[in-house]
Chain A
Amino acid sequence: MAVFGLIDGNSFYCAAERAFAPELRGVPLVVLSNNDGCAIARTAEAKAMGIKMGEPWHLAQRRAECKAVEWRSSNYPLYGDMSRRMYEVLAARVPQVEPYSIDEMFLDLTGLPDVERLCHRLRDEVRRIAKIPTCVGIGPTKTIAKLANRIAKDDVALNGVCDLRGEADRTRYYAELSISRVWGIGSKTAATLQNLGIVSIADFIKLAPEQVRDVLTVTGARVQAELRGQSCLPFTLMPPPRQGIAVTRSFGQMANTWGQLREAVAAFATRAAEKLRAEGLEAGHLSVFAHTNPHNGDPWYSASRAAQIEPTSDTLALLSETMRLLHACWRPGHRYFKAGVMLANLTPARQQGQMFATRDTVKSARAMAALDAVNARFGRGMLRPAATGTAMAWKSRQAQHSPRYTTRAEEMLVATAF
């Protein structure tokens, strides 16, 4: 029988902040989204104060009880590196690890002795070495392991590990738990089921598979089979090929003029081109959008343009195409709030110049490699096309960004000699 584990960091972003900032331990803490907009990670103390996931921070801050809550802007270079550490601690100890998201990883525990004790040890070592507190769920399928993980999070008496390999244990929890707690059952699906009188997981697995397929399609039928203990979702060791690359962001400051909008979108196109080259790809389709903010009383204006392009990963080629499309979107008199650049029809980059290419692809590849090397060495954005501007008012508002402790020599943790 297959055995899956799911290990998930508790308030991962907050834990990464606390790892290096002892003054944040034991106090309520939230990490905010890009632009310091909404709470996207909350410690147990912050949850207890009623701060909701995704709650706009400027609203929460008005509540008297939230004045004492510490907050940080999101620090993705740090979180990515801490996730890498978590993965490497696990990969050295179990045969296979699948990094499902930045803070949760599936473990292949099939055939290992004393799985529960192993999982307690993994938790301890991830905590000690990667500095992330976690919970582990164990089950014969991914869906059950995921459910077990949620149970371990909710019930402190379990000491962070919940094992649902035993059918009797599952039966007990299935009777109590709402179907809405299951991975792959969204709120809409749960409502559909509720209308049919299906509330608990036990109700759901009693249904005939054909009936589930009729109501919820094959996806729902797969969830049911997984909950019954038949593994349908195998281990994935390679990320799926990219469908597209998108760089979209809301601005730190509204863009009122063509110059401001152009600067912002040029920077997004530059970043998208970097991502493209980092994966050795070229894009054959480009789209651009920009819109105003409907939530602050401004008139709604939204425009987008797209074009097929000669496949390329060249920043300058992508920039000129982006500017052409953006100019077609631009109408004066609007305050632009958000924009983005999307690349699609991705194909592996060609090694040699193409016979009919209108650009010198070899020369361009060399220039781009040089650009990326400088940026890798001296920090992203060190060398960039002049179109991205020097004022950079469009840059995300990140008022409380913690140091990039593990990726920048000038920002490493400072400890006082005692």
Chain B
Amino acid sequence: MNYNGGNTTGFVSPAGDSLEGRIDLSATLDLSRPSRYPVRVAGDALASRGIVSGDILIADAAFPPAHGKVAVVMMHGTALVGQLAFTKGQWWLASGHAGVQAVPVTGDEAEIWAVITGLVRTEV
């Protein structure tokens, strides 16, 4: 039988008229919006921003890019996730590693794909 907290067999459940569904995390994360794409992180370069390998990022393609935001960037044939910087009149992808130079987001195929608005970690 499929027991839901209300359909008891003996005593009538006092909760019967007050049942609610389970918490729906996809609603909390607003995943039904056409602009939202879940993206999995590979690598620990963003550990200083609290983002580690295996995390699921909620990327929003409608969100305007801004200096300091973490974003998914398509560049040189790879999907990268890093911190955006706007200097000298253009966008850069800054590395989370100290000493690694920022790279300009330029070229025909380079694109700020979506800005990260949330994070899900399934194992802590």
Contacts and interface: CB of A to CB of B under 8 A. Distances in A.
A418 B61 contact: no
Contacts of A409: 38, 56
Given A26-B108, A130-B34, A406-B37, A414 B61 contact: no
B79 interface: yes
Given A25-B74, A129-B61, A417-B81, A412 B40 contact: yes
Given A406-B37, A417-B45, A417-B53, A131 B61 contact: yes
A417 B51 contact: yes
A125 B62 CA distance: 8
Interface of B: 33-35, 37-46, 51, 53, 56-57, 61-62, 72-82, 93, 95-96, 108-109, 111
Interface in A65-101: 84-86, 88-89
11 contacts: A22-B75, A23-B78, A89-B34, A129-B34, A412-B38, A414-B42, A415-B40, A415-B81, A417-B43, A417-B44, A417-B81
B77 A128 contact: no
A129 B114 CA distance: 8
A128 B72 CA distance: 13
Contacts of A84: 34
A22 B44 CA distance: 21
A85 B38 CA distance: 14
Between B34, B51, B109, the greatest number of chain A beta carbons within 10 A of the residue's beta carbon is seen for B34
A416 B81 contact: yes
A65 B76 CA distance: 24
B81 to A, nearest CB: 4
Nearest to A89: B34
A128 B61 contact: yes
B79 A413 contact: yes
A128 B53 CA distance: 27
B45 A418 contact: yes
B44 A414 contact: no
A415 B61 contact: no
A416 B43 contact: yes
Contacts of B80: 415-418
A94 to B, nearest CB: 14
B93 to A, nearest CB: 6
Interface in A373-418: 405-406, 409, 412-418
Contacts of B57: 415
B46 A413 contact: no
Given A89-B34, A129-B35, A131-B61, A416 B42 contact: yes
Contacts of B95: 418
A170 B10 CA distance: 76
Contact of B62 (A128, A405, A416): A128
A416 B79 contact: yes
B35 A417 contact: no
Contacts of B72: 413, 415
Query: Lowest 4 CB-CB distances: which A-B pairs, in order?
Result: A418-B82, A417-B45, A85-B34, A88-B34
A127 to B, nearest CB: 10
A172 to B, nearest CB: 33
Given A84-B34, A413-B39, A413-B40, A25 B79 contact: no
Given A20-B79, A25-B74, A26-B108, 8 more contacts: A22-B74, A22-B75, A84-B34, A129-B34, A406-B37, A413-B38, A414-B40, A416-B79
Contacts of B78: 22-23, 416
A405 B114 CA distance: 15
A417 B79 contact: no
B57 to A, nearest CB: 8
Contacts of B108: 25-26
